[in-house]
Amino acid sequence: MSKQRWGSRLGVILAVAGSAVGLGNFLRFPGVAANNGGGAFMIPYFISFFLLGLPLMWIEWTIGRFGGGFGHSTAPGVFDTMWQKNRFVKYFGVMGIFGPVVIFSYYIYVESWLLGYSVFALIGRYADCTDLESMRAFLTGYQSLAGTEHFPAGTAYLFFIITFAINIIVLSFGISRGIERCCKWGLPLLLVIAIILVIRVLTLGTPDPARPENNVLKGLGFLWNPQWAALKKPEVWLAAAGQIFFTLSVGFGVILTYASYLRRNDDVALSGLTAAATNEMAEVVLGGSLVIPAAFAFFGAAGIQSIADQNIFDLGFLTMPLILGQMAYGQIFGFLWFFLLFIAGVTSSISLAQPAIAFMEDEFNLTRREAAVLFAVVTFLLCQPVIFFLGNGVLGEMDFWGTTVCLVVFATIEVILFGWVFGIDRAWTELHAGSDIRIPRIYRFIIKYITPLMLLTILATWIFNDWKKQLLLEGVEEANRPYILITRVGLLGLFVFLLLMVRIVWRRRPEATCPETDQ
């Protein structure tokens, strides 16, 4: 079976940027920034980008392209090619399939809320919700977490089915005709909508003359005025590093898989930098100029932090509909806001699906359609506990293991393999093969020493502060504990199943050959 390829260089850059530009840019980033004091957050954020995010972006592009030369598009095979003398390293790569599958299984449901809200905005379904309490009641009613007069039974499930089908259809068309085409249209449309909304928000001025201190300019100041004392707070650094992981899609195994479809001498240095810069523009310039300034103008600094403290997504799902609804043509702007988020969600969720589909294609010789159908069946079943037991902590538990744990552990393994096992000299040469730019040599030192040190510090801090209470379910309501424990058993079963699949594949495969050189 011939290996799939990207149709163009622009296509792969937009696909990687589309993977990164998601709900984290426009929903999670404003919430995390507000929760950590606005300007207090941005200094650690940018330091984490240059010392953690950007090196990991280059690492994943490089090792993905390298592994693709051996015919591997997923982490088990790529890790095995990087350290052929170690017969266990491929099993660590299972996290690069497991994590994305778990995240996809709840991300797709959240994504479907955005499609539903796009429709609700257009038809004025939540127009009668004029305060945070009524808007929260609308959301919980839609999620079937509380009784409401707004929705007939199955409304949320219908939008989930439509969203799930859209994703699978895109995936079934493959790399160039499916994912690349979707991102080539979706990402520019997303950026245009974001610019329109930013212009509208920046022209808000002072909505309430009785509170002149609450205005858009002060909102921008809340985000951008540095607070140097915050550099002493470890929790702000951890939040910033976590946001960089989430927003760049590094540590998931997704970029690694995307890069495996490059040819041997395709550039990864400039392409990786361009994809990262595109994401940062979307997050910091556009995402940062939308939610926080608008919310500040209506609710003030204390109001923003209070809302973000309750739920990190409340700024997007509760405050933005209220704010946009008070403008002229509020229904149109409300639709643009939620449709923007829906497009961002789709370009990210299709990337989460690709590692598992690629694994089935590469290692079991399934056709693209067969792999997409099998993936659809498995993940559809995995989605059901998230949907029906949303109020019992299932989504949060899946997010913890799929994102918090897998992401940091997987990224730590990647950087150690790249800088220490593969060797920084060989890694640096591989990174610059076919490169259109020369990366500053300081990044040799950063990749080998600083990035792994930061990752190990994050991991050690989590183990020291949180692992015991997380594992022992401290703070979890007694009624929800059975649901959490069953979810853990299911996730463990999925992980063990993937380990067995890797073992079966490697027991029957021939020895690896040299990378392709005629590409």
Per-residue pLDDT of the chain (519 residues; tens, 9 = 90+): 557 888 888 889 889 988 888 888 888 888 888 888 777 788 899 999 999 999 999 999 999 999 999 989 999 999 999 998 898 999 999 999 999 999 999 999 999 999 999 999 999 999 888 888 899 889 888 888 766 566 777 889 999 999 999 999 999 999 999 999 999 999 999 999 999 999 998 888 777 777 877 888 888 888 888 777 777 777 788 888 888 888 888 888 999 999 999 988 899 999 999 999 999 988 988 888 888 888 888 888 777 877 777 777 788 888 889 888 888 888 999 999 999 999 999 999 999 999 999 999 998 999 999 999 999 999 999 999 999 999 899 998 998 898 878 888 999 999 999 999 999 999 999 999 999 899 999 999 999 999 999 999 988 887 887 777 888 888 889 999 999 999 999 999 999 999 999 999 998 876 544 454 443
In a domain, 158, yes or no: yes
Q: What is the pLDDT of residue 517?
A: 41
In a domain, 316, yes or no: yes
Q: What is the pLDDT of residue 158?
A: 94
Rg (the chain; Cα; Å):
22
- Dist CA 304 CA 294 (whole Å): 10
Structural domain of 213: 9-390
The model's pTM is 0.92
Tokens of 172: 């079934």
- Dist CA 311 CA 258 (whole Å): 32
* Element holding 77 (H helix, E strand): helix 75-82
Q: What is the pLDDT of residue 261?
A: 93
Count of domains observed in the chain = 1
In a domain, 187, yes or no: yes
Q: Using N-to-C axis directions, what is the helix angle for 330-364 and 75-82, rounded to 10°? A: 50
Q: What is the pLDDT of residue 519?
A: 39
In a domain, 346, yes or no: yes
DSSP code for 53? I
In a domain, 343, yes or no: yes
- Dist CA 314 CA 11 (whole Å): 33
Cα 317 to Cα 35, 63, 130, 136, 142, distances in angstroms: 16, 38, 13, 8, 12
Which among 290, 388, 423 has a CA at the least distance from the CA of 344?
290
Which among 232, 129, 252, 180 has a CA at the least distance from the CA of 18?
180
Q: What is the pLDDT of residue 147?
A: 61
Q: What is the pLDDT of residue 516?
A: 47
- Dist CA 41 CA 231 (whole Å): 9
Cα 17 to Cα 25, 63, 198, 280, 435, distances in angstroms: 11, 18, 20, 9, 19
* Element holding 110 (H helix, E strand): helix 95-123
| DSSP states of 491-512 | HHHHHHHHHHHHHHHHHHSPPP
For 514, residues 6+ apart whose C-beta sits below 8 A from its C-beta are none
In a domain, 423, yes or no: no
Specify whether the CB–CB gap between 416 and 63 falls below 8 A.
Answer: no
- Dist CA 237 CA 252 (whole Å): 20
Which among 247, 226, 225 has a CA at the least distance from the CA of 48?
247
| DSSP states of 276-317 | HHHHHIIIIIIGGGTHHHHHHHHHHHHHHHHHHHH-TTHIII
How many secondary structure helices (H) and strands (E) does the chain include?
A: 28, 0
For 160, residues 6+ apart whose C-beta sits below 8 A from its C-beta are 108, 109, 112, 383, 387
Give the end-to-end CA distance of the chain in Å, rounded to a whole number.
16
CATH classification at residue 206? 1.10.4160
CA atoms within 13 A on the CB side of 148: 23
Would you state the torsion angle of the CA atoms of residues 31, 15, 363, 412, taken in this order, to the nearest 10 degrees? -40
Q: What is the pLDDT of residue 514?
A: 46
In a domain, 416, yes or no: no
In a domain, 396, yes or no: no
